[in-house]
Amino acid sequence: MAERRADAQRNRTAVLQAAQEAVERDGAAALRVGAVAAAAGVGPGTVYRAFGSKRGLLLALVDERERRLQERVLRGRPPLGPGAPAAERLVAFVDALHRLTAEQREVLVAADEGAPTSRYLTGAHAAWRQHVAVLLAELHPDADAGVLAELVLAPLTAALHVHLLDERAVPAARVRAELLRLARLVAAPGP
């Protein structure tokens, strides 16, 4: 049994490495499960058993980065981690999630191809929504923190980042500055 688990972990690592190399070489939209399986030295069934679909494989490429961000939110240093006022934490989180999304936008958009709202059903999005809702409930006790959290997260979608950074060629520094301005407005005490 332990040998089977070790084989499965080796296969998973090989598949993720082959997928990352394929994305870097050809782009996320061009990723093909069969080609990734061949490059990893496994059959396509191994990829589908481990990741479920091309979408699952693409999301797995982003998963480790999302886990690191979640760890920093839960146990990291302020202002992203505990110990800072809610307003500072909100701005720091928006900045961190923007950086992650901007860096991984191509993979995230390709993962959402054909199912543009599927990202809202991921565990990562649920964690981000909960974190932002807790901060917003503290900042604006009279607001519907769950709805407001979704609205705060809306500009942090990969599709919007592709549109602004790639299609409109807005400089990344400008996008970041305006997102932080928006976060500070939301974080400001209400009337």
| Structural fold of domain 1-52 | Arc Repressor Mutant, subunit A (1.10.10)
Residues of the chain with CATH 1.10.10: 1-52
Higher pLDDT, 122 or 146: 146
Per-residue model confidence (pLDDT) at position 191: 63
Minimum mean pLDDT among 1-10, 67-76, 92-101, 155-164: which range?
1-10
Q: Which amino acid appears at position 121 of this protein?
A: L
Minimum mean pLDDT among 47-56, 150-159, 170-179: which range?
47-56
Write a three-state SS string for 17-47. HHHHHHHHHHCHHHCCHHHHHHHHCCCHHHH
Q: Is the pLDDT of residue 91 over 80?
A: yes
Residues of the chain with CATH 1.10.357: 62-187
Would you put residue 27 in left (φ > 0), alpha (ψ -120 to 50) or beta? left
In CATH, what class is 62-187? mainly alpha
For the chain, the straight-line distance linking the first and the last C-alpha, in angstroms and rounded, comes to 61
Per-residue model confidence (pLDDT) at position 119: 81
